[in-house]
Structures are given as C-alpha cells and as structure tokens.
C-alpha cells in the first residue's frame, strides 16, 4: 500500500536529535553529583559553574558531533540573545531531565528567547522587516493543540461567541472547517476562496469579504493546505490594510509550511496587532511525534484591548474565572489566559509543554539559526520539489502550480480530476464523468484497485473532484506508481464513456 494521504514527512533532522541525546548524557552526569550515597538516584543539577563543567565535559569528547554542536550553540546563544551561559546550560540540563514543572508555565525563559529569534528569522524572511517589539510565545503540543487552545480561549473570553461569523481562507486544513461547527462553538462561517486557475492565489474580491463588520475573525493556513501555495505579498498587504480599516478584526495565521518557501513573510509580521501566529516544528524537522509548536501573540495586540473593552458584567465574570491565579485577574494577558484555559484554569499551576519537548524545540531552532548558508532549508525544499517534479513528469497535464512559481511550497499537490478529464478527452467527457460518478469514486478505486491512498479535496473545501497527495511521506518512485494508477483508472472511465456513446 502507498499512503499519500498523510502529511507526515519521511525524513528527520538528525543533528539536533543527536545533540539532544548527548545533552541528556551530560545532564545525567550532573544529576549524579547529588545523592551519591544512593544507588540509582540523582538530583537537581548545581547551577553555579555548570557551563564551565560542560566545557570540560566537551573537551574530552571533541570528536563527537553532538557535543561539538552544543559547545557552538552555547557560544552562539550567549553572543546573540543576551543569555548567560550558566542560565542556558542549567535550563537545558534541568529541562532535559524533566525534574521540574515547566517554569514559567508559558515557556522556559531561554527557550523563548531562542525560539523567538527562530520565528523572526523564518517568518520574516522576505523583504518586509519584522515589527518593533516582541511576540510572547506559548509552547504547545504541536499545531493541533494550538488550534484547540485558541478556539477555546477566544470563546471563554467572549471574543467569539455562539452565532458569530468567522471567515476561512479555503481550501484549508479540515479541522478549521469542522471545529466551528461543533456544539461547543456553533459559529457561522464564510469562505474566502482561492482561485485554482490563478495558481491558488486569493482574488481581491474574496479578501474584501473581510470588510463586513459581522466577520469577527479570519483564519488561514499560509502556505495553504492542500494547494501548498503561499499568499502573494499583494494579498498579505491587502489583508493588513483591511485590518487597519477594521482594528477589531482578529486574524489567525497557521504558517507551518512557511519554511518550504523562499522569502516567506507571515501575516503576523505585517499585521502584528491583529494576528495570532501558529507555528509547528513537525513538518520541517520531521518531528510529528514530538508534538512541538508555539502560539505567538505580539505584546501590543487587539485581543488584550478587546478584553479591556468588554461590558462590566462580562469582565466581572472573567475576573471570577481567573481570580484563583492572580490578584489582578482583569490584567491577565490573552496569551496567559490561553495557558490557564489549556488546563481548565484550575490546573494552571501544572500547565505548560513538557520541558524535554521545549529543549528539543530549542535545538531545532538553533539548527536553523546557526545555519547561515541555509543548507538544511535548501535540502528540505529540494526533497519535496524532486518528488513534485517526478509526479509531474508522469502526469499528462500541466500543473496548477509550476515548479518555478516562487509562491509554491510543494509539500502537497492538489489534482483536479475533472480538469484532467477535460484536458485529456474534452469537455463532453468531463461533463459525463461528473454526471455518472461521485467525486469519491476515484478515491475509493485508487485504494481498492491500486492500493494507493489519497485524500479527497472536498474535505478541505477544495474542488470536490480533486485529490490531495502528500509529497512528504513517500519516495520518488512511489509517485511514478501513483501517476500510473491515476492514468489507468482514467482510461477505464474513458472506455466506459466511449462504450456508452457507441451504444447510444
């Protein structure tokens, strides 16, 4: 069986993982400095002089790539991010041992500095400079947890209420369609639709739907899933201009695939006050099992201001909700409300992403921050582009997004089956196919007859007669088989069409 349905990459970033395990060995050595009289027991590392002790440890292991990277990472971090070596190494040792609750619960102090630098580097990689000020980060269990926490906190803080309308940039990752429909939220949705005939860019007329004051929020995935195309600079600026005209409009941008494009600019960088940024490390570093993500919210944001403007009775209700975790519950920032809400407020004292996860996230970030030649990025991009090219070589029609399109991320490909039918055999055949078969028919036949799993595009609010194929989790030769399977099924459809015509 070939499963092209899941977006789980089949590569892993090896260096930061080797660093993680080597750091763990040093952390164990540090832990064993306490409770020396008890077999099998260690304790919390001694902070004073811990960086010097690591230097001595590293000198005896100079040929080890992981230890060497750690030495350079400590020096790099201290030089660039106003970090004290003992503070950093102690956080890493304590964190990787997992011997304390996350503190601060929102994100470890040094981890936040480094991951913030990574986000600025990768989310403001285009020509637009990042905004002044900083983003507060909340380390979470991947992008999926970020979605849950954001929806929950927007509702809990009365920023989005049952019956409200939100806009979705479609096609989009299916949960963004399904969550608003749940009884928990009961939201109305309108679609801001990308045009497949314009390489999946969003027409201005669609974006102008956001001027409607009933639209409380706009959620998008950029680059998109499944078309795998980033918004043009003009479209990003259009959204930012609408946000200026509508300072109450909440924007959420899920930018997990941004690193698969060159010169990526996040909406959070040009409309920071309005935007909640979601980023996951899962796809780029081959780390879906690690569950690593962040929510980023600029220190000057409309969510905090909107909470301050709520009616007095609602503010009183919210103060009651959060009163057990602060003497001034009305002053709790939205990002910290998300932390509390993630643990039903009552368990706020044990909130936060596990510390070993935060250390691995930090090491992933440092891999990119220290890679001044962008070798890792170029290789990751080349992997999916090579598979895209292999599939297109076997496909009988030109792609909706060409390989030289600067907006392409090429993590997925969206194949419009009716377009394929029309270009291969004409309009009459395309009309006949749509009239005689359900859109899921080819999805089922690929699975049953060819043992090829594809996702139906309709589930993402893409054209119903489309397939989404992941270019991340299979090897190049697999895409040859997928293309061949599609062509064989299409040939069967066409043979049935010809037979019906001859009999008619």
Distance CA 365, CA 116 (A): 9
Distance CA 258, CA 268 (A): 12
Distance CA 266, CA 269 (A): 5
Domain assignments of the chain as residue spans, ordered by start: 2-100, 114-356, 375-503
State which CATH number among 3.40.640.10, 3.40.1110.10, 2.60.40.10, 3.20.20.140 fits the domain covering 114-356.
3.40.640.10
pLDDT recorded at residue 94: 97
- CA distance to 145, 160, 163, 347, 496, per residue, from 184 (Å): 16, 12, 11, 21, 47
Letter string b/e over residues 155-174, b meaning 16 or more CB atoms within 10 A of that residue's CB: bbbebbeeebbbbbbbbbbe
- Topology of domain 375-503 in CATH is 3.90.1150
Strand-pair category, 452-453 with 2-3: parallel
pLDDT recorded at residue 63: 81
Between 142-156 and 334-341, two packed helices, what is the crossing angle to 10 degrees? 110
Task: Give the 3-state secondary structure percentages of the chain, helix then strand then coil, rounded to 5.
Answer: 50, 15, 35
pLDDT by position in tens, the chain (length 504): 999 998 999 999 999 999 999 999 999 999 998 998 899 999 999 999 999 999 999 998 878 889 999 999 999 999 999 999 999 999 999 999 999 999 999 999 999 999 999 999 999 998 889 999 999 999 999 999 999 999 999 999 999 999 999 999 999 999 999 999 999 999 999 999 999 999 999 999 999 999 999 999 999 999 999 999 999 999 999 999 999 999 999 999 999 999 999 999 999 999 999 999 999 999 999 999 999 999 999 999 999 999 999 999 999 999 999 999 999 999 999 999 999 999 999 999 999 999 999 999 999 999 999 999 999 999 999 999 999 999 999 887 788 899 999 999 999 999 999 999 999 999 999 999 999 999 999 999 999 999 999 999 999 999 999 999 999 999 999 999 999 999 999 999 999 999 998 987
Look up the CATH architecture of domain 2-100: Orthogonal Bundle (1.10)
pLDDT recorded at residue 140: 98
Task: Taking the CA atoms of 166, 167, 171 and 172 in sequence, report the sign of the dihedral they define.
Answer: negative
Structure tokens, 285: 């570093």
282-77-127-237 Cα dihedral, nearest 10 degrees: 60
Whole-prediction pTM: 0.96
pLDDT recorded at residue 60: 86
pLDDT recorded at residue 58: 93
Q: Which residues contact 65 (CB under 8 A, 6 or more apart)?
A: 15, 18
């Amino acid at each position: 069986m070939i499963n092209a349905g899941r977006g789980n990459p089949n590569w892993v970033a090896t260096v930061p993982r080797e660093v993680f395990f080597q750091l763990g060995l040093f952390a164990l050595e540090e832990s064993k400095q306490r409770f020396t009289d008890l077999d099998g027991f260690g304790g919390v590392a001694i902070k004073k002089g811990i960086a010097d002790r690591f230097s001595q440890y590293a000198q005896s292991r100079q040929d080890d790539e992981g230890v060497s990277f750690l030495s350079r990472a400590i020096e790099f971090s201290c030089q660039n991010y106003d970090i004290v070596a003992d503070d950093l190494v102690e956080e890493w040792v304590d964190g990787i041992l997992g011997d304390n609750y996350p503190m601060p619960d929102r994100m470890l102090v040094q981890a936040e500095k480094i991951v913030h630098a990574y986000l600025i580097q990768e989310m403001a990689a285009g020509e637009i400079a990042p905004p002044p000020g900083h983003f507060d980060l909340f380390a979470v269990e991947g992008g999926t947890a970020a979605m849950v926490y954001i929806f929950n906190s927007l509702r809990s803080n009365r920023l989005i209420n049952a019956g409200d309308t939100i806009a979705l940039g479609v096609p989009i990752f299916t949960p963004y369609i399904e969550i608003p429909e749940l009884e928990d939220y009961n939201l109305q949705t309108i679609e801001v639709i990308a045009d497949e005939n314009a390489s999946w860019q969003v027409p201005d007329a669609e974006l102008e739907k956001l001027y409607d004051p009933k639209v409380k929020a706009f959620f998008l995935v950029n680059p998109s899933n499944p078309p795998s195309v980033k918004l043009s600079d003009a479209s990003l600026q259009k959204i930012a201009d609408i946000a200026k005209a509508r300072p109450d409009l909440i924007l959420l941008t899920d930018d997990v695939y941004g690193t698969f494009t060159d010169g990526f600019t996040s909406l959070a960088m040009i409309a920071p006050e309005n935007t909640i940024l979601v980023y996951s490390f899962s796809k780029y570093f081959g780390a879906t099992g690690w569950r690593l993500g962040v929510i980023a919210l600029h220190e000057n944001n409309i969510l905090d201001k909107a909470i301050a403007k709520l009616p007095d009775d609602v503010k009183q209700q919210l103060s009651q909700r959060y009163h057990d975790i602060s003497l001034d519950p009305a002053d709790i920032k939205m990002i910290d409300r998300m932390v509390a809400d993630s643990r039903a407020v009552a368990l706020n004292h044990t909130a936060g992403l596990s510390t070993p996860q935060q250390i691995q996230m930090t090491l992933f970030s440092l891999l990119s921050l220290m890679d001044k030649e962008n070798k890792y990025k170029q290789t990751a991009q080349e992997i999916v582009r090579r598979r895209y090219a292999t599939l297109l070589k076997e496909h009988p029609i030109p792609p909706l997004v060409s390989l030289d399109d600067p907006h392409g991320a090429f993590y997925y490909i969206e194949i419009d089956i009716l377009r394929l039918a029309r270009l291969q055999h004409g309009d009459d055949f395309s009309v006949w196919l749509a009239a005689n078969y359900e859109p899921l028919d080819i999805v089922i036949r690929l699975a049953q007859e060819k043992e090829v799993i594809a996702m139906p595009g309709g589930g993402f609010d893409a054209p119903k007669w489309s397939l989404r194929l992941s270019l991340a989790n299979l090897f190049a030769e697999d895409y040859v088989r997928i293309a061949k399977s599609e062509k064989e099924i299409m040939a069967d459809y066409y043979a049935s069409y010809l037979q019906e015509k001859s009999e008619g």
